[in-house]
A and B are shown apart, each in its own frame.
Chain A
Amino acid sequence: MKRRSFTLMAAASVLGVGVLPRISLAADTIPVGSIEVLTGPVSPYGIAIRDGETLALEEINAAGGVLGGKKIALTVEDSAANKDQAINAARKLIGRDKVVAIIGPTLSAEYFALAPMTNQRKVPVIGTSITSIGATDIGPFCFRTSLPEADVIPAALRKAMARGAKTIALLYANDDLFSKSSYDQMKVAAETAGLKIIDIETFATKDTDFSAQLTKVKGLKPDAIGIAALVEPTAGVLLQARQLGFGAETQFLGGNGANSPRLGEIAGAAADGIMVGSPWFIAKDTPQNKAFIAAFNRKYGKNPDQFAAQAYDTMHLLARAIDKAGAADPLKIRDALMQVKQDGVMGPLSFNAKRDPASAEGVLVLEMHAGKFSIAP
């Protein structure tokens, strides 16, 4: 009996901590929220995004903040890649922290889960890593700064065609949302560009054997092979393709998932020659990018990746929008977001009428050599 009452007391005190009102933020700060995957297997992406936006935040606040001297107060919540926790976090940010805008979430599924609610509540949500078709169609308060793959893949396809490719085979992981959406857009892009799709093969993300699919593709002799999958299975496909005798005459193309330094680390020489389209590249030779990389290295002691770069640009764009709105009001900030423009580390950034990035000018085609990406000649 005694133990039971102790348990009840413990439970009550834990509950109490959660319910107590937090000390409200000082009135001279503008509350902004962010929801990212900070724990679990997907956390490298979420942490990169948090690092990028935090760096931008420090720069904004050090330069005098927004709205004539007010600082932005950023609250980053963890979603643990779970849709319920992402919704809970969004409701907490809006209901308790009274944020004027939310950056994130990390995953498309989380975005689809929370955006109808935030849209109804009229708070702008800006995804920095959402590439699925239709995400911003949810409503007028749904934005993203990540280029949909439909804007990134054509650049790589055009480069392959310029090198003489006329036919292509597509391979994709059909059990993973990111890979499936990458494939959908790769297929459309290939059809639009005029490449002939001669075969489509599927596998599962955790597969380790792709020989059946690759043997079939080899018999058809395509000029190019597009792989839409996360980095590990992409590396697996490449390693096995080389074993089966695919040589330099076949141009490999990767989706967004292949755009990671890890591809070279896993696949080594087997990945040589693969091309990907990328909205950002570390060796991009612009003054903004050089300043960003130097600042990122000073703060975190490592190089940024594409996700950090997108988040960094997004936070700067949002600060601009708050300034332009003239008030910490989500409705005015939404309208301002539709108008702001900036020239950031990824290139020119602004929103089109569908609240997607307006320009794909910054897209680069990267090619792998000796385990490292460089800008394709």
Chain B
Amino acid sequence: MDLSWLDDFLWTYQNVIHSVGINGLLALSMYVVLAVGQLSLGQAAFMGLGAYSAALMTLKLGWPFWMVLPLSCVVPILFALAIGLPTLRLSGVYLAIATVGLGEVLKALYVNIDYVGGALGLTGIPEATETWMIYGLLALAVLAFWLVARSGIGRAMEAIREDETAARVMGVSCFRYQLGALVVSAMLAGIAGALEAHSTSLISPGEFGFEPEVSILSFALLGGIGTPIGPVVGAFILTLLPELLRGMADLRLVFNGVIIVVAVLFMPEGLVALRLRRRSA
């Protein structure tokens, strides 16, 4: 059987397939903070830290990718711990503004430090990301979130999301859960950043600013945050749409927008409007 068409297909869409999976991880990184009712918009910044630290380890230190990938979440996690203490006292839109601000500060830093390539960013990063790594990690993350969501931790997280004060009265340590969620969010985004850096050969400061952050938020909102599957579905659709609509040329962005608006209007709970079933206690 001649399978060369499959090779061609995979080669042609390799970057799309990679972006879809990486964006799935980012959507989960947004999901985990939304799951404890925090509108924390630092995912793009965490991703940037992961991408830059991983690319530097590869380019400047020459470390192999199997070492770089797990280490890429170290800097984002430390950063999350450092900013978690002051920012988690904020909530709602104030937390959103503070975390967006942090992202912009990091972006300005990358631009001004010549060691990390300035405005162009880091180029010539070797291609080390394999498709199975992305989807393996994605499957692992979804499974882990699913199990956690069904456990007592998931119940506490849902309680915090629905009513923080009530949860606190019931004896749930909100701060600990929220900091934990932030750290997991940073870890996932950092790994996604490392995968992204080693999938395309360039990372530049502009990829980790406010605009990508809004895309990550829209993955989660379009997909729905009732289950960990929802954000991943949202990421898949929003990443694939521009490529599927390529044939429409000038009308591409219009259709892209219309589809999103229609989806949000008619499915306000997200495309995957499921709720987790939990055994009654």
Which of these, A3, A87, A179, contacts B200 with CB under 8 Å? A87
Taking CB atoms, residues of chain B closer than 8 Å to A87 are: 15, 200
Taking CB atoms, residues of chain B closer than 8 Å to A177 are: 118-120, 204
Among A107-115, A207-215, A328-336, the stretch that binds chain B is A107-115
Among A77-85, A232-240, A300-308, A317-325, the stretch that binds chain B is A77-85
| Nearest CB in chain A to that of B201: its residue | A116
Taking CB atoms, residues of chain A closer than 8 Å to B9 are: 95
Taking CB atoms, residues of chain B closer than 8 Å to A138 are: 124
Q: Among residues 1 to 56 in chain A, which have CB atoms less than 8 Å away from a CB atom of chain B?
A: 3-4, 7, 11, 14-15, 17-18, 38-39
Q: Taking the nearest CB of chain B, how far is it from the CB of A203, in angstroms?
A: 12
Taking CB atoms, residues of chain A closer than 8 Å to B253 are: 39, 80
Taking CB atoms, residues of chain A closer than 8 Å to B164 are: none
B15 near A108 with CB under 8 A, answer no
A11 near B237 with CB under 8 A, answer yes
**B240: Cβ under 8 A from any A Cβ:** yes
Q: Taking the nearest CB of chain B, how far is it from the CB of A38, in angstroms?
A: 8
Q: Among residues 42 to 80 in chain B, which have CB atoms less than 8 Å away from a CB atom of chain A?
A: none
B207 near A175 with CB under 8 A, answer no
Among B32-40, B154-162, B243-251, the stretch that binds chain A is B243-251
**B139: Cβ under 8 A from any A Cβ:** no
Q: In the complex, A237 Cα to B280 Cα: how many Å?
A: 68
Taking CB atoms, residues of chain B closer than 8 Å to A94 are: 12
Q: Are A91 and B13 CB-contacts (below 8 A) given A39-B252, A85-B242? A: yes
Q: Taking the nearest CB of chain A, how far is it from the CB of B12, in angstroms?
A: 3
Taking CB atoms, residues of chain A closer than 8 Å to B12 are: 91-92, 94-96
Q: What is the 8 Å Cβ interface bit string for chain A, positions 333-363, against chain B (1 contact, 0 not)? A: 0000000000000000000000000000000
| Nearest CB in chain A to that of B253: its residue | A39
Q: What is the 8 Å Cβ interface bit string for chain B, positions 117-160, against chain A (1 contact, 0 not)? A: 01111011001000000000000000000000000000000000
Q: What is the 8 Å Cβ interface bit string for chain B, positions 180-192, against chain A (1 contact, 0 not)? A: 0000000000000
Q: What is the 8 Å Cβ interface bit string for chain B, positions 2-24, against chain A (1 contact, 0 not)? A: 00000011011111100100000
**A174: Cβ under 8 A from any B Cβ:** yes
The prevalent SS among residues of A at the interface is: helix
**A316: Cβ under 8 A from any B Cβ:** no
Taking CB atoms, residues of chain B closer than 8 Å to A91 are: 11-16
Q: Taking the nearest CB of chain B, how far is it from the CB of A16, in angstroms?
A: 10
Q: Taking the nearest CB of chain A, how far is it from the CB of B223, in angstroms?
A: 12
**B97: Cβ under 8 A from any A Cβ:** no
A83 near B244 with CB under 8 A, answer no
**A176: Cβ under 8 A from any B Cβ:** yes
Which of these, B201, B244, B271, contacts A18 with CB under 8 Å? B244
Taking CB atoms, residues of chain B closer than 8 Å to A132 are: 120
B202 near A83 with CB under 8 A, answer yes
Scoring A108, A109, A174 by chain B CB atoms within 10 A of each residue's CB, the highest score goes to A109
Q: Taking the nearest CB of chain A, how far is it from the CB of B198, in angstroms?
A: 12
Taking CB atoms, residues of chain B closer than 8 Å to A112 are: 120, 123, 201-202
| Nearest CB in chain B to that of A98: its residue | B8
Q: Taking the nearest CB of chain A, how far is it from the CB of B188, in angstroms?
A: 19
**A159: Cβ under 8 A from any B Cβ:** no
B271 near A7 with CB under 8 A, answer yes
B252 near A84 with CB under 8 A, answer no
Taking CB atoms, residues of chain A closer than 8 Å to B127 are: 116-117
**B91: Cβ under 8 A from any A Cβ:** no
Which of these, B11, B19, B201, B267, contacts A95 with CB under 8 Å? B11
Q: What is the 8 Å Cβ interface bit string for chain A, positions 67-80, against chain B (1 contact, 0 not)? A: 00000000001101
Q: What is the 8 Å Cβ interface bit string for chain A, positions 112-147, against chain B (1 contact, 0 not)? A: 110011000000000000001010001000000000
Which of these, B13, B108, B201, B250, contacts A175 with CB under 8 Å? B108
Q: In the complex, A78 Cα to B11 Cα: how many Å?
A: 19
Q: In the complex, A109 Cα to B124 Cα: how many Å?
A: 12
Taking CB atoms, residues of chain A closer than 8 Å to B200 are: 83-84, 87, 113
Q: In the complex, A3 Cα to B273 Cα: how many Å?
A: 11
Taking CB atoms, residues of chain B closer than 8 Å to A80 are: 242, 253
**B111: Cβ under 8 A from any A Cβ:** yes
Q: Taking the nearest CB of chain B, how far is it from the CB of A119, in angstroms?
A: 10
Q: Are A117 and B246 CB-contacts (below 8 A) given A95-B11, A174-B118, A180-B119? A: no
16 A-B contacts (beta carbon < 8 Å):
A14-B244, A15-B240, A17-B247, A78-B252, A84-B19, A91-B14, A91-B15, A94-B12, A95-B8, A109-B121, A112-B120, A113-B201, A113-B202, A117-B127, A176-B119, A177-B118
| Partner-B contacts on A (CB < 8 A) | 3-4, 7, 11, 14-15, 17-18, 38-39, 77-78, 80, 83-85, 87-89, 91-92, 94-96, 108-109, 112-113, 116-117, 132, 134, 138, 174-177, 179-181
A83-B202, A95-B9 known; 8 new pairs, CB 8 Å cut-off, are A15-B244, A85-B242, A88-B243, A92-B12, A109-B121, A113-B202, A175-B108, A180-B120
Across the A-B interface, give the 4 residue pairs with the lowest CB-CB distance, nearest first: A95-B12, A18-B244, A177-B119, A113-B202
